[in-house]
Structure 1
Amino acid sequence: MQAINDILSRLRIDQLNEMQLAAIEASKKEQDVVLLSDTGSGKTLAFLLPVLQLLDPANKKTQVMIIVPSRELALQIDDVFRSMVTGFKVTVCYGGHKRETEENNLLEAPALIIGTCGRLADHIRRGNIQTDSIETLVLDEFDKSIELGFQEELSFIMGSLKNLKKRILTSATDSLEIPDYIGLQAHEVLNFSTGEKAEALAVKWVKSDEDDKIATLFRLICYFGNRSTIVFCNHRESVERTSSMLKDRSITNVFYHGAMEQQERDVALCKFRNGTSNVLVTTDLAARGLDIPNIRYIVHYHLPHTEDIFTHRNGRTARMDASGTAVLILSPDERMPAYVPADVEEIELPETAVLPESPKWSTLFIGGGKKNKINKVDIVGFLTNKGALKKEDVGLIEVKDFFSFVGVRKSRMSDVLQRVKNEKIKNQKVKIDIAK
């Protein structure tokens, strides 16, 4: 257990929870594992720690593949694994950026490959990934991959993994049958699902007097104040339209959907995480896999099509020991879905809407990242020394492969840009500007 204790210390985690301990024990046995546990309960560590115990340092080939339904989830798992500082090489593969970068990373086989179905299947077809040595497979949020229509690619990948000895499947729900092509044999089911911690989640509704709900949404956000809020729409076009109309009403917000370029998505999520924006308008793409703490409100601007979608949207809040509120907006022609309790409380909005205060943070873009050997410590040192910022003026820092984002107190942004415009970070001249 000493190695695990060292890892927990690096991750600043005091102890494993019951679900994580059970997953480690189950993975020691020969059979496969199906782990069902609520969103936000720590499933990533629950499979990464067993995976680490299965890795052989003497084996220089790829030993483990982790398949996920979204790029963001892939990047989050990659970030956690790197933070564990195991000494094993990891490569993450996903669409939305150059395949050549990944091909270079795959030339020397990583012990662990994390990726989305489409990009992993592409690499396997091109011969960039040697599958014969892969003995352990993790399907994280496996039901979402199937729901999103990845069956064909997933089936191809499974057919390419001829020597699997261990399968670990995770999900927040047990509502989906596992397809035969997954090849699940004798397996142990660990069911720690509690219905997304319903006891910590309050569900309320608000009436819109018009079919177009934007005026009601505006008043609702004003009613919330500066609390972190996700607004769910059913279509990409609706996301951009809703975001634009909120901006027209002076509500600072960012939007996020699957048709955006990867860097645009990274910027939007970073701004939401670091407090540059307290409102995120999105499709159901954000209903799974995003690790954004302290979200207070979920707004169902468009009613979810199914109870499962409703559950996963709500799973973004009331995570771990926190509480949260989900609010459905109903137009005159809409009725409360059958899966919502009939006695949910109605919110009576004030007649006069008072705009929330503007966020006190802004986001700085730095055109260098991990591949430039730039890390968080370098960025803090650069901004405090060259930018004359105090540590309390520097917020959340996110370092990607080729660029980084930094939360900076808005009142200091203009001054810091002037101070660093001709400076180098780690002897490199990189673009530094407000993130667009």
Structure 2
Amino acid sequence: MDKILDTLGIELNPMQEASSEAILHSDKDVVVLSPTGTGKTYAYLIPLACLMDKSKEEVQAIVLVPGRELAKQSAQVVTDMKCGIRAMALYGGRPTMDEHRILRETKPQILFATPGRLNDHLDKGNFGTESVQWLVIDEFDKCLEMGFQNEMEQVVGKLPTVRHRILLSATEAESIPKFVRLQKSERIDYRSSEGGNRNRIRFFQLKSESKDKLESLSNLLLYLGEKSSIVFLNYRDAVVRTATYLQEKGFGVSLFHGGLEQKEREAALYRFANGSANILVSTNLGARGLDIPDVDSIIHYHLPESKDEYVHRVGRTARWDKEGNSYFILGPEEQIPEYVEQETESFSLPESLPEIKQPTMATLYIGKGKNDKISKGDIVGYLCKKGGLASSDIGKIDVMPRFTYVAVSRTKILQVLKLTKGEKIKGLNTVVEEIR
């Protein structure tokens, strides 16, 4: 375990220590309840990696998650741990056949999957289940809330060899369904502890004279400047309307909701995570499973419709030991919801506001990825040699199976597009485009 912690450069917090102790040294199933942003993914993955047999090529652990973003991010955490465990994410929006081919090639030992897609693979016999000992349900309350109960029950019924179950959430479901088949369980509840992020968040309320709060939102974002902010709304069409308004004003915006195609959702998140857009306008889909560490402010354009929504929205800021802010924009007839226990300060914008500044980075799409034996080093070399960049002009690089997203200095974007046109990477023709 110490080697993994050194690789990640972290120390376990009290919740993670308690979870690790229970998973490593108890025969009981484990239920972990802890605020969003406290590191529940590490809390179960680090001890699980220590228990798994690296010499076996079969799947030994399955993690059920409510959405593809959490599946992908969790699989990436295993890669970042460099612990010798192979991981893979399974989710809808791409052909099951393609995933089956990758399963055969990579022989993952841990799978992160949405319930429907996992059932598809299990029904087709695309991997063996005889060695599956651990079943983890991450954000189990959200899985139930999203109507996955029947699909999860089917999954559990197809995994007869499971011996250990781990359930994690920031909020508690009304009851844990019997089909989960919890044995005697150890409950680790840190929801009310000082380890939560709300002690590191300041809460503000901003009054809008108009029911249409777009001008108030725009002025607040001007005040916040280049800092990273997520604006939450309750409806997809409102997300589109708000994002369009801000884009036309000149803000650096990504929009995110469940109606987007998978590639559009991925591009929106990458632009926000790598600093190419400092504002993410999102439905409550963005309140779960997004591990973006440096979100400065959460803005409630629409009030959360429930306490759980509120908890998970606020959990996007002040992750780990960071600090953050939460702003409620209140229309003429709106008030802070009763379930908000924190004291909120009245906030007034100054008369003089700064001009809009575009983010310092932009995102490039390069049409080659891991399947083409392309590494981050190859990307850096290509952009420096062919695109005329210095290494300091290059930011976050995400190499996917078939393509790559890379953040580059916004002032150099036209130069890169011009110089790389028609140029090959490792002898391969490729497409290089800006993601807007």
TM-score range, shorter chain: over 0.9
Do 2:59 and 2:128's aligned partners in 1 also have CA atoms closer than 8 Å?
yes
1 CA distance for matches of 2:183 and 2:426?
A: 51
| SS of structure 1 residue aligned to 2:425 | coil
**Cα–Cα, structure 1 residues 225 and 57, in superposed 2: closer, same or farther, change >3 Å?**
closer
Q: Do structure 1's residue 31 and structure 2's residue 28 form an aligned pair?
A: yes
Matches within 5 A, 1:179-194: 179-194=177-192
2 CA distance for matches of 1:333 and 1:8?
A: 50
Deviation at 1:185, TM superposition (A): 1.1
Q: Do structure 1's residue 44 and structure 2's residue 20 form an aligned pair?
A: no
2 CA distance for matches of 1:283 and 1:185?
A: 36
Q: Deviation per CA, 1:55-104, whole angstroms, max 9, x where unpaired?
A: 22444322111111111111111111122233333221001222221111
Paired residue for 2:151? 153
Deviation at 1:341, TM superposition (A): 4.8
Q: Deviation per CA, 1:380-404, whole angstroms, max 9, x where unpaired?
A: 1221222221111111111112111
Paired residue for 1:224? 224
Q: Deviation per CA, 1:372-430, whole angstroms, max 9, x where unpaired?
A: 22121211122122222111111111111211111111111111222222222222211
| SS of structure 2 residue aligned to 1:61 | coil
2 CA distance for matches of 1:355 and 1:132?
A: 61
Q: Do structure 1's residue 62 and structure 2's residue 63 form an aligned pair?
A: no
Letter in 2 for 1:21: E
Letter in 2 for 1:278: N
Matches within 5 A, 1:69-108: 69-107=66-104
2 CA distance for matches of 1:258 and 1:416?
A: 32
Matches within 5 A, 1:416-435: 416-435=416-435
1 CA distance for matches of 2:337 and 2:83?
A: 47
Do 1:62 and 1:131's aligned partners in 2 also have CA atoms closer than 8 Å?
yes
Paired residue for 1:271? 271
Deviation at 1:351, TM superposition (A): 4.1
2 CA distance for matches of 1:172 and 1:161?
A: 26
Paired residue for 2:118? 120
Aligned counterpart in structure 1 of residue 16 of structure 2, from 6, 20, 24: 20
| SS of structure 2 residue aligned to 1:103 | helix
| SS of structure 1 residue aligned to 2:212 | coil
Deviation at 1:302, TM superposition (A): 0.5
Do 2:250 and 2:358's aligned partners in 1 also have CA atoms closer than 8 Å?
no
Letter in 1 for 2:11: Q
Paired residue for 2:397? 397
Do 2:119 and 2:151's aligned partners in 1 also have CA atoms closer than 8 Å?
yes
2 CA distance for matches of 1:318 and 1:91?
A: 28
Matches within 5 A, 1:7-406: 7-11=4-8, 13-27=9-23, 28-107=25-104, 109-174=107-172, 176-194=174-192, 196-341=196-341, 344-351=344-351, 353-406=353-406
| SS of structure 2 residue aligned to 1:107 | helix
2 CA distance for matches of 1:228 and 1:264?
A: 20
| SS of structure 1 residue aligned to 2:312 | helix
2 CA distance for matches of 1:198 and 1:178?
A: 26
2 CA distance for matches of 1:283 and 1:425?
A: 38
Do 1:251 and 1:355's aligned partners in 2 also have CA atoms closer than 8 Å?
no
| SS of structure 2 residue aligned to 1:199 | helix
What TM-score comes out, normalization by structure 2 length? 0.94
The more displaced of 193-202 and 29-38 is 193-202
Deviation at 1:54, TM superposition (A): 2.8
Q: Percent sequence identity over matched residues?
A: 41
Letter in 1 for 2:190: F
Do 2:36 and 2:311's aligned partners in 1 also have CA atoms closer than 8 Å?
no
Q: Deviation per CA, 1:6-57, whole angstroms, max 9, x where unpaired?
A: 323333x143333323222211321111112222222212211222233224
What TM-score comes out, normalization by structure 1 length? 0.94
Letter in 2 for 1:369: G
Deviation at 1:343, TM superposition (A): 5.2
Q: CA RMSD in A?
A: 1.8
Which 5+ residue runs of structure 1 have no aligned equivalent?
none
Do 1:91 and 1:102's aligned partners in 2 also have CA atoms closer than 8 Å?
no
Which 5+ residue runs of structure 2 have no aligned equivalent?
none
Do 2:396 and 2:406's aligned partners in 1 also have CA atoms closer than 8 Å?
yes
The more displaced of 122-131 and 200-209 is 122-131
2 CA distance for matches of 1:104 and 1:375?
A: 21
Paired residue for 2:3? 6
**Cα–Cα, structure 1 residues 300 and 359, in superposed 2: closer, same or farther, change >3 Å?**
same
Letter in 2 for 1:113: L
**Cα–Cα, structure 1 residues 383 and 337, in superposed 2: closer, same or farther, change >3 Å?**
same
**Cα–Cα, structure 1 residues 429 and 171, in superposed 2: closer, same or farther, change >3 Å?**
same
